Amino acid sequence: MKILIIPFMLFLASCCNEDEKLSIHSDCIQMEQNSDFITEELNQDYTIQFPKDFTGTGLDSTSFISFRKEKSDKITFSYTFNSDIGPSFYYGHKLPDPFPLELDIPTQSFSKNLNIKKDLCIDDKIVGILYYNQNGENEASNGKLFLEYKTWYYEALQITFSENIIIEEIFEILKTIRKK
């Protein structure tokens, strides 16, 4: 019996080559800085870069914690957090464990289904998770970014965009996020 188990195990081991092991995070957006973009503080832990044609206050902690950058009426990156944890906690809701494949975001009038998930990585480590949808031409699409804080992931940014082709531009901006 032992003689049969050893060849079977060798067969299984040969099926899993090194390339397959590395493809676990092949859908992960690799983080990298862009020398043509302007660096802004996103919160107390991270920076983010934007192209020069984005406007808005960026990080504002004068009365409550908020962030806003936009490109005309096509893309808006924003958040407003009033945390029970403390005035210096710049994050929203905690991401459920284990990571859901999609998120349902209730609003006052309906529920938004964020049914597409993308990981943002530095090497093999996930530092951010983006959930988003892509609605039709006449309806805004939405996204929520969760960033690593201590040992888990918390809501760090909301994204609204009006055209599906803009998602690549959003990825170009999000991949510039860096820990301070």
Which residue, chain included where needed, has tokens 């301070």?
A: 180
Q: State the amino acid at position 113 in one-letter form.
A: N
Q: What is the mean pLDDT of the chain?
A: 82
pTM of the predicted protein model: 0.80
DSSP count for the chain of H helices, then E strands: 3, 13
Mean pLDDT of 29-33: 95
Distance CA 74, CA 137 (A): 12
- Burial of 137 per CB tally in 10 Å (0-12, 13-18, 19+): exposed
Question: What integer pLDDT is reported at residue 21 of this predicted model?
Answer: 31
Residue 42 has pLDDT above 60, yes or no: yes
- The DSSP H or E segment spanning 50 is strand 46-50
Q: How would you label 57-77 residue by residue, b for 16+ Cβ within 10 Å and e otherwise?
A: ebbeeeeebbbbbebeeebbb
- pLDDT band with cut points at 50, 70 and 90 for residue 108: low
Question: What integer pLDDT is reported at residue 107 of this predicted model?
Answer: 65
Q: State the amino acid at position 129 in one-letter form.
A: I
Residue 83 has pLDDT above 80, yes or no: no
Share of the chain above pLDDT 70, in %: 77
Domains observed in the chain: 24-179 (3.40.1000)
